[in-house]
Structure 1
Amino acid sequence: MPRIPTSTYRLQLHGEFTFDDAKAIAPYLKELGISHVYCSPYLQAAPGSTHGYDVVDHEHVNEGLGGEEAHQRFCQRLRELDLGQVLDIVPNHMATGSMNRYWWDVLENGPASRYATWFDIDWQSPEIKLQGKVLIPVLGDQYGRVLAEGNIRIEWDRERFQLRYLDQRFPLSPRSLATVLMRTARQMRDDTLGFLADSLARLPAPDLNDPALVQDRHRDKNAVYGLLKRLCVEKPELMQAIEATLSSINADIDALDEILDQQNYRLAYWRTADQELGYRRFFDINTLVGVRVERQHVFDATHYRIFQWLDQGVLDGVRTDHPDGLRDPQQYFARLRARAPKAWIIGEKILEDGEFLRENWPIDGTSGYDFLNVCNSVLVYDVGLRKLSDIYAEFTGRNESYDAMTHDKKLNVEQEALGSDVNRLANLFVEICEMHRNERDFTRAEIRRAIREVAACFSVYRTYVVAERNEITEEDRREIVSAVTRAKEQRTDIDARLFDFIGDVLMLNERGGRESEFLLRFQQFTSPVMAKGVEDTVFYCFNRMIGLNEVGGSPATNGITLKEFHDYCRHMLATHPLTMVSLTTHDTKRCDDVRARLATLSEIPEKWLAACTRWTRLNEPLKVNRSPDRNTEYFLYQTLVGAWPISEKRLQAYMEKATREAKEQTSWTQQNKEFEEGLRTFLQKLLQSTEFLADLEAFVLEVKEAGQTNSLAQSLLHYTAPGVPDTFQGGELWDFRLLDPDNRSPVDYGMRQSMLNQLKGGLTPEEILERADTGMPKLWLTYKALHLRREHPEWFLAEAEYTPLFATGPKAEHIIAFTRARHVLTLVPRWRLILGDDWARTSFEIPAGRWRNVLTDELVHGGMTSIEELLQRFPVALLVLDSE
């Protein structure tokens, strides 16, 4: 029977941290108080994968992590320690490449492949050159030039024929192989080889709608290949002749081109992917192809091992990656729940401000970005954020609103990186318009522009309308109406009736097979538009206060009130009490302690402005080619304050990635070498400037302690609010890492074990705080909170009541407090820099009874108590009703 976690600990597995490494730290995690180890995906991934989301084989455990035997050792150790396990799974996509035998089969056989139904491929492209073919955009230059340079060749290892481009390999279609064999047969006058060549040439070309003929073709193909292998063993001279034929073809560009034209794929210049790719991807990553998991046989095949592990008790739950990429997320989760009715199922659903997880989804909650942003927002100071808006505009000279920037960046992403996705939608909508006489004269060009505009005007990741179930909620209807209305306002040059017609299709007012297909594809499309346009672009361009620039966050808002925080917690308890709550994930833009420190800037906007003014004046002589620009410089200074101390190597890598993601001065596809070299030189000189570093360190010292208090505050909220808290690997100490790959850097578990041993040895709160720089206070809080959860799950899980509490007095707004199940009381401060050390007679009424602060071991009796007394020995308080 699966067990619901009381807490999880995320481990990022890769070649440098394998199953055996995870096994070695399992006793430490048990001692820390964790109930479940939460692993990154570990089914077989592409060679060298550092994250596991590029799965190539759902049947086997990743050999790069130690394979099946190491996995068994790891799972056995967890069982011995009574630790549960949760696994991150990837249903939306697979990695392409030769290790993916399903994809390889599709490239070899095209629509006649046994696995053509597995992938979201448009075989009927309006481009004649791509009909029945998959575009493979891997070439470094135009196809003809690459061919002329001799970088494409046919090879044969005497087991299989394949096409090679540099270090990449692709299969040869059986029919094209007939050309090679027939040419050799005629030269050698070998009738048997000629017969085999004819057999390959006559293989039928069924499509995915004729599965029986597909299987017959596969049988016949393998029989021919088997006979060819036997023939070559019997007649070794044929092997040499075939190799000679291949050499001749490789030396003849026209002959090689003719064989390439017979393939079920088209090798092309990598830039063609933006406009002509014929398959759905994960966002804009060409090497991650969309999987048709909505088809039952694909679902069964790709989840076989997952369900096996759930049935065996190896897993207690799963976290499902990117459900918004699926054609029908609710159907997917219903199948998952039906097959694993007691499992803990979490979906990585990104919720925008004010949006909540659909209550009809049969899962336990999200992966916690919603909590992260609520927690972040309640700790920033609203008045200061408004002042930071003015400071940002003054410093950078930019007055563009966040909403306007979001709209424009989404459009840019749609026109460039996601252009092929737009074209696929436009092609389908042209067909729809052709069937309606009132709309048939809309041109492909204006349809394409209208689709981009509507998608750019969505304020959420996607809607969940399903025609076959006649399913549309009022929430979805409002979002579609709003998006269409805004689109018409933005593009008055486009006939408003076209926007209305798109809206009618999206809201089921116009129905039909093509209409339903367009609706489902469009809903899959708006998610990457939001992710690439906002998360991976705007969040590096709109830099008012970068600590708010998190997945699902609202960077332009001015925080939330205590009431809004408590309303959110009560809503989650009522709807998804077992949701995951997170502060840092493998996808966050910066770890929790960076955000905690940055939040303090909202309390001291004037001092921040003065510091930025000094630093800009001081560092102006360090600039080369006027790089960086003011917006990048403002982003940089916040990064330095939030993540200090940071090495030049880490900072250089981060700033390169951040500026390329911003796509303003440079990008991944069009790198501005002059800007990037200027930025690298600036960073190098900056970290050698003793005057600047002294000033920076003095500023960081001023906010450091308040940042630590924020960290402890959000950590305690995280461990006691409704939901199941996840600790990201290494995050039990201060964590100043930035986005990946920085957050996958090695974690020193030996040091953490040593520090935990010291804590268990009986350090006083004062001694713990004296060692604050080591992260000891955060480790202490984590240890005590996790053990409390594990020992008393009934105080925190589904039925555990949540009651907001409020302080009284001049500084009442500085306190966040609540009880759980009437047995646990959480109390944390906020806005510590504004507060200073004066609580000004602010007090708090503790519910009746005798309470023990588990962080200080002090006893407190119910009644009115001063906040100063409650927080005298430790920055936050965790009280438990004492039964003695």
Structure 2
Amino acid sequence: MRIPIATYRLQFNPDFGFQEAKQIASYLDALGISDIYASPIFKARSGSRHGYDVVDQNQLNPELGDRGEFDALISDLHERGMGWLQDIVPNHMAYDGQNQYLMDVLEHGPHSQYFDYFDIEWEHSDDIQGKLLAPMLGDFYDRCLERGEIQISYDKDGLKVNYYALQFPLRIESYAQFLTHDLHWLRRRLGRQHPDYIKLLGILYLLKDTFPEMALQQRKDQSAFVKQMLWELYQDNQEVKAFIDQNIETFNGQPGKPGSFTLLDSLLLEQFYRLSFWKVGAEELNYRRFFTVNELICLKIDSPKVLKNTHKLIFQLVDSGAFDGLRIDHIDGLYDPTVYLKRLRERKEDLYIVIEKILEFNEELPSYWPVQGTSGYEFLNYVNGVFCQQQNRKPFSQFYRRFSGVTTPYEQLFLEKKQLIADTNLVGDIDNLARFLKKVASQYRYGRDLTASGLKTAIQEVLVTFPIYCTYINQRGVAQRDLKYIRTAIQAARKRIPQLLNELNLIERFLLLEYEDSLPEDERAEWLHFVMRLQQFTGPLMAKGVEDTLFYVYNRFISLNEVGGSPEHFGLSLMDFHEYNQRQYENWPYTLNATSTHDTKRSEDVRARLNAISELPAEWRSQVKTWSELNQPHKQSLSGHLVPDPNDEYFLYQTLVGAFPFDPGELDSFKQRVKDYVVKAVREAKVYTAWLRPDTEYEEGFVNFVEALLTPSPENPFLEQLQSFQQKIADYGIYNALSQTLIKMTAPGIPDFYQGTEMWDLSLVDPDNRRPVDYDRRLTALKSIQKDWQTDKEKLMKELLSRRTDGRIKLFLTMRGLALRNQFRQVLQNGSYAPIKTVGKHADNLIAFARHKGERTIVAIAPRFLTELIQPGEYPLGAKIWNDTQIELPGGAEASWCEWITDRTIAADNVISVGEVLRHFPVALLVSENHPVDL
């Protein structure tokens, strides 16, 4: 198995494809990256900026380049000894006309060879019985129809339904309705005996009398034959062409004349799908989506046939060596993640596999999963938390409550926001679960009197109170880890709805698979299906209710409001951090360690800045009060409250301090980015506005507030005050960021770098974090650093520190840290982990640990909480700052060490002075010199 040394996430899109990646391969190689970690590269919906809306897994995305360009990229990487980790999407595809599997289903219904590829409940309520709901319309169906927004068209591929860019096929039988309309007109023009008229009658005969009796493949062949015959008639005979064109015009109706759309409405009723307003998808849904996104329809990847057919190209690229590893997106969406992962492992035993998985605090990844680990969200939150000053929890909590007016405890908000999503976005999904459970439970006397309504409420409560993203019960039964979480959820639900105790008891019995011994196998299978189906919705509810709602509402300290995070924990202790790393070393030494990803709410450098605020509660409180008073005139009164409200205002101030650019020339672009961001943030919060019900007045009021705050003028003293405080925080944030980067490169696991974050990156949530990266600037900076490193190292250190806002200092540290990983790969991939004891005046201001293997030891030293040590503008260097602080070296350590980052030899006798180690650079890496080291 190829284990990466360090990965670098690239976000491919139509503006950054295979050729562009090839152009930066030499740069990444020089930086020390071993493996490109690629966003999805398979054919996605046209113009996709992220690649997760796949339409064909068995084609490379032509918008990224052709196969030759991809092969050239891979060849170039292999020549450099570099590898490729590919992000794949097994859970879903785009609900789009470019998805040929799905279009085949919509055209042929149960006769399609892909009929069982998608997670669709065909036996649903009467109005969509035997149809697939298509909630893609921007308004109610009748309004869209009568405005002429839904139209049919015709080309060589047949008749199609069009709604703006969306295009669906018509089932072949419905051609008869279209072709028989006003057929006498054509008969008069051609005559009954005209060969082309007779051919058209032959087509109608096939459509009306033979298709219902045909087998699947024969039907498809005959459908293609009919389309070809009709197209030839259309091209060769002007009267036939005029007839079809005239019918298209007639069926498409005339806006302002509702009766003229009856024909088209009747035609649409015949299809295997039902077009509807997109909001209908929240309540009446007969297919499983990715989270709450109607445009992403889920696959039945648990089917061996579906897995084989959708992974053909993936497996080819794995077998050919183009892919060295896979990152599995949204593992919790799969019906049986365990089986899927085992099938991947059986297909390729030595394949490096990591999964996109969010673990709650102290939750463990299932030990029986055949993976190397996760994509690193848990590391992100541990390393972020250890830079948040825990002892200041109380003053931050008190001030937040007073300023924002948010007094509801986090635990209650956690349940309320999940309840909100369950009541709005996931109503249809919960209805489907309740309907199935009612059907199964009615077979037993203890379940017959339980109503569908009661079961639905009870299911919803269990989902809302579920404490983690997902359990993984399958044919193997209920694992001990899952048992604990299920009982926790049921117990919490009983307290909330004691009147539905019987319903909850039944659900608990099902979830724990407490079968009676006499229960037949087919009924056991129904129980298990309910459990495994319910497991597919605990994750989406957690993600939408907590990460995409609560994290925009509970704004006490937004550095902690991160994917996989637990904002109720105001930071983490150093002991918690070391214990986590020890577990990772023992259980998941090859997992990815991320600090920024395409999913994060804000970049690592924004969080590093904000964490400095956690050290200064009194100063922060004073600043916010002053700012709020200054900005009061910029607020707009709306329906009895001010815009923005205090909670959103508090969120904005943290955002501005965290993301304000180093370069003043970026102020205008930053202002626009913040405007876009606050609209997304308040919609996600769902307090005054939401994606389902936008309140443009509140949004515009907030945008105007941002405009006023970030526009320089004599009447805006806030901006100058903001910059003064922000520059101070940004300076401390630089040192936090360097420490964080050092830890990522040396802790157990594989360091992952999100594109561009090797220099300062002050991005917010997507799409802000997908902005283009200036690689020319990075390459130029790297070459300059490498040249200066060879000539005068001490001078380089001084220059990097004095110009630390330009980002080169972070690039330098990344380069040196990755050089260490490449040279001492075994130590940092497989070496043991041990905390290092620190003593002296500032012992608590250091994070130190050792990695050891064989006769080699590496010690990482990372400062934190520097507002206690230095004034703004001072360097955290030397004995004057660190006083008597020392680190105690591991037992048996040699007396001579190399400080790797600055390339100095340091003598030691069991202890080392931190002031000496941190004499030239803010973080340090000590390497034992038991053997000669090529520096």
Whether 2:516 is the aligned partner of 1:504: answer no
Cα distance in 2 for partners of 1:520, 1:55 equals 25
| Superposed displacement of residue 232, structure 1 | 4.5
Matched residue SS, 1:41:
coil
The alpha-carbon distance between structure 1 residues 248 and 702, as it changes in their structure 2 partners (threshold 3 A), is: closer
Q: Say whether the 8 Å CA contact 2:278–2:294 is kept in structure 1.
A: no
Deviations for 1:825-861, whole angstroms, at most 9, x for unmatched residues?
Answer: 1011111112446434221123422211111112122
The residue that corresponds to 1:400 in the other structure is 408
Alignment counterpart, residue 822 of structure 2, candidates 769, 787, 790: 790
Q: CA deviation at 1:13?
A: 0.7
Corresponding position: 1:487 with 2:487: no
Q: Is the 8 A contact 2:58 2:314 kept in 1?
A: no
Letter in 2 for 1:831: F
Give the equivalent residue in structure 1 for 2:597: 585
510-519 vs 290-299, greater mean Cα deviation: 510-519
Contact 2:156 2:227 in 1 (8 A): no
- 2-side partners of 1:409 and 1:786: how far apart? 42
Task: Please give the residue correspondences for 1:3-402 in structure 2 after superposition, counting only pairs within 5 Å.
Answer: 3-125=2-124, 127-183=125-181, 187-188=186-187, 189=192, 190-202=197-209, 213-232=215-234, 235-251=237-253, 252-402=260-410
Residues 1:616 and 2:628 aligned together: yes
Report the Cα offset of residue 70 of structure 1: 2.2
Alignment counterpart, residue 711 of structure 2, candidates 668, 680, 688: 688
Cα drift, residue 485 of structure 1: 0.8
Shift of 1:204: 5.3
Q: What letter is aligned with 1:866?
A: S
Distance 1:201 1:67 in 2: 44
Indicate the residue corresponding to 1:876 in structure 2: 923
Query: Which residue of structure 1 aligns with residue 653 of structure 2?
Result: 637
Aligned amino acid, residue 664 of structure 1: V
Query: What is the CA deviation profile of residues 786-819 of structure 1, one whole-angstrom value per residue up to 9, with x for unaligned ones?
Result: 111122211111x311122111223222221111
Q: Supply the distance in 2 between the matched residues of 1:867 and 1:112 (Cα, whole angstroms).
A: 73
Q: What residue number does 1:657 align with?
A: 680
Q: Tell me the CA shift for residue 82 of structure 1.
A: 2.2
Amino acid at match of 1:553: G
Q: Distance in 2 between matches of 1:479 and 1:201?
A: 56
Moved more, 9-18 or 810-819: 810-819
CA distance in 2, matches of 1:503, 1:213: 44
Bigger mean CA offset, 79-88 vs 361-370: 79-88
Q: What secondary structure, in the 3-state scheme, does the structure 2 residue paired with 1:820 have? A: strand
Is 1:758 the counterpart of 2:784 in the alignment?
A: yes
Letter in 2 for 1:67: D
Q: What's the offset of the Cα at 1:185? A: 5.5
Q: Is the 8 A contact 1:803 1:818 kept in 2?
A: yes
Given residue 126 of structure 2, which amino acid in structure 1 is its aligned partner? I
2:785 alignment partner, SS class: helix
Could you say which residue in structure 1 is the equivalent of 2:743? 717
Give 1:434 deviation, angstroms. 1.6
CA distance in 1: counterparts of 2:898 and 2:210, whole angstroms: 79
What displacement does 1:594 show? 0.5
The structural deviation recorded for 1:230 is 4.3
Deviations 1:401-452 (A, max 9, x none): 1111110110110111111111111111121222122222222222222111
Conserved 8 A contact 1:179-1:197: no
- The residue that corresponds to 1:209 in the other structure is none
Q: Which residue of 1 aligns with 2:691?
A: 668
Other structure's SS at 1:795 match: helix
The 1-side partners of 2:266 and 2:346 are apart by 51
Residues 549 and 105 of structure 1: CA distance in aligned 2, closer, same or farther (over 3 Å): same
Q: Which runs of 5+ in 2 are unaligned?
A: 254-259, 516-522, 662-666, 871-875
Q: Is the 8 A contact 1:185 1:193 kept in 2?
A: no
Query: Structure 2 length normalisation: TM-score?
Result: 0.91
Deviation of residue 80 (structure 1)? Answer: 2.7
Match 1:854 to one of 893, 897, 900 = 900
Distance 1:630 1:354 in 2: 33
3-state secondary structure, aligned to 1:294? coil
AA of the residue aligned to 1:238: V
- Pairing 1:698–2:732 present: no
Distance 2:243 2:578 in 1: 78
Deviation at 1:219, TM superposition (A): 2.6
Structure 1 residue 528 displacement after superposition: 0.3
User: Which SS does the other structure have where 1:271 is aligned?
Assistant: helix
Partners of 1:245 and 1:737 lie apart in 2 by: 53
- SS of the residue corresponding to residue 703 of structure 1 reads helix
For 1:622, the aligned partner's letter is: H
CA distance in 2, matches of 1:479, 1:495: 20
Q: Is the 8 A contact 1:40 1:51 kept in 2?
A: yes
CA contact (8 A) 1:807 1:843 kept: yes
Match of 1:549 in 2: 561
- Given that residues 173 and 211 in structure 2 are in contact (C-alpha distance below 8 angstroms), is that contact kept between their aligned partners in structure 1? no
Match of 1:523 in 2: 535
Could you tell me how far 1:233 is from its partner in structure 2? Answer: 5.2
| Cα distance in structure 2, aligned partners of 1:523 and 1:353 | 19
Q: CA RMSD in A?
A: 1.7
* Partner in structure 1 of residue 772 of structure 2: 746
Contact in 2 for aligned 1:120/1:292 (Cα 8 Å): yes
Q: Residues 226-269 of structure 1: CA distance to partner in whole angstroms, max 9, x if unpaired?
A: 34344545645333323333333333422222111100011112
Query: Equivalent residue of 1:859, what SS?
Result: strand
What is the distance in 2 between the residues matched to 1:727 and 1:167?
36
Q: d(CA) in 2 for partners of 1:566 and 1:664?
A: 39
Contact 2:510 2:527 in 1 (8 A): yes
Q: Secondary structure, in 3 states, of the residue corresponding to 1:732?
A: coil
How far residue 198 of structure 1 moved from its aligned partner, in angstroms, is 2.7
Counterparts of 1:16 and 1:233, CA distance in 2:
39
- Say whether the 8 Å CA contact 2:552–2:685 is kept in structure 1: yes
One-letter amino acid matched to 2:911: M
What SS is found at the alignment partner of 2:850? strand
Aligned partners of 1:471, 1:409: CA distance in 2, in Å?
31
How far, CA to CA, are the matches of 1:812 and 1:70 in structure 2? 53
SS at match of 2:176: helix
Equivalents in 1 of 2:79, 2:882: separation in Å? 49
What secondary structure sits across from 2:614 in the alignment? helix
The alpha-carbon deviation at position 565 of structure 1 amounts to 1.1
Structure 1 residue runs without a partner (length 5+): 207-211
Identity value in percent = 40
Which piece of structure 1 moves more, 709-718 or 217-226?
217-226
Classify the secondary structure of the residue corresponding to 2:49.
coil
Q: Encode CA deviations 1:678-717: one digit per residue, 9 max, x unaligned.
A: 1111111111254112211221232222211111111111
| Alpha-carbon displacement from aligned partner over 1:580-627 (angstroms, at most 9, x marks no partner) | 110000000000011011111111111110111110111111111221
Inter-partner Cα distance in structure 2 for 1:202 and 1:587: 53
Residues 1:687 and 1:258: Cα distance change in structure 2 (over 3 Å): same
The DSSP-based 3-state class of the residue aligned with 2:813 is helix
Matched to 1:560, the amino acid is: L
Matching of residue 780 in structure 1 with residue 803 in structure 2: no
Distance 1:609 1:505, change over 3 A: same
**What's the CA shift string for 1:93-143, capped at 9, x where partnerless?**
000211111111111112221111110001000x21100001111223322
Paired residues, what number? 873
Letter aligned with residue 881 of structure 1: S
Q: Deviations over 1:658-691 (max 9, x none)?
A: 1111111211221112211111111111112541
Q: Is the partner of 1:713 in helix, strand or coil?
A: helix
2:848 aligns with: 817
